[in-house]
Amino acid sequence: MENLFSSFASGPSAWSYDTLKNFHQISPRVQDHLKRVYLSLCCCIAACAVGSYFHLLWNIGGLLTFVGGIVSILWLLSTSSHPREEKKRLGLLLASSFFQGATLGPLIQMVIELDPSLLVSAFMGSAIAFACFSGAAILARRREYLFIGGLLSAGISILFWVQFASSLFGGSAATFKFELYFGLLVFLGYIVFDTQLIIEKAHIGDYDYVKHALDLFADFIAVFVRLLIIMVKNSGEKSEERKKKRRN
């Protein structure tokens, strides 16, 4: 991760306008593939927003939408990437995104009731972070960040065992905070890793933009949810501090 952050501060000439146009390491066909991936990702985010809105209207989010999202993803992954199946797979991708949004509906509703500005801030923060980290992966040398895949897998394992231990022995505030911030760091790393992995897969002939968009959408949602919870938590702590000051 140190190499990742050092790439942003490697000198005043590192991030010039010419640098932003420098895609010579990525072939035109791969560039077209990335355009499809990011366009599909935008459609996923829109479908997710619609799912959350439907929950606000009709309270549809819950176990059924969670199961529906899992089924849609498994169905998509089991479907051939043949061009004849493209519309079906796109439909399954949007359906899984819709169900994901509906499942997040209760959290979205709670945040709106608390402070709607937190929702906007979390989304904008997630979008900016995603654009920066994914852009860094695109502009970096090919395969430069693929080495962090092992570190990220280890991070996911740590999160799993921490949650498992919390479910057995009970979690503390410190454990919850660790899961939030460490999980946020891990999934920011996955944005970089998955972006470069998609580029490398495309260079060897894997142009399955539907599955690649699904990977990036999962990263985006993971970052968004954690950032939203962190903002809500910080907002609650500030409110408590204000109440204490007023009492004193």
What phi-psi label fits residue 27: left (phi over 0), alpha (psi between -120 and 50 degrees) or beta?
beta
Q: Is residue 12 situated within a structural domain? A: no
Q: Is residue 38 situated within a structural domain? A: yes
For residues 61 and 20, give the distance between their C-alpha atoms in angstroms, rounded to a whole number.
41
Q: Is residue 235 situated within a structural domain? A: yes
pLDDT tens across 43-77, in order? 999 999 999 999 999 999 999 999 999 999 999 99
Report pLDDT for 245. Answer: 77
Report pLDDT for 99. Answer: 98
Q: Is residue 51 situated within a structural domain? A: yes
pLDDT tens across 142-173, in order? 888 999 999 999 999 999 999 988 888 877 88
C-alpha distances out from residue 235 to 48, 49, 238, Å: 25, 23, 5
pLDDT band at residue 242, thresholds of 50, 70 and 90? Answer: confident
Q: Is residue 108 situated within a structural domain? A: yes
Q: Is residue 209 situated within a structural domain? A: yes
Q: How many domains does the chain have?
A: 1
Report pLDDT for 7. Answer: 45
Place of tokens 């498994």: 74
CB 27 within 8 Å of CB 168: no
Q: Is residue 94 situated within a structural domain? A: yes
Q: Is residue 5 situated within a structural domain? A: no
- Please state the rounded mean pLDDT for residues 212-233: 97
Report pLDDT for 24. Answer: 58
Residue 185 domain boundaries = 27-247
Alpha carbon of residue 118 to chain centroid: 18
Place of tokens 């906007």: 120
Least confident of 13-27, 91-105, 129-143, 214-228: 13-27
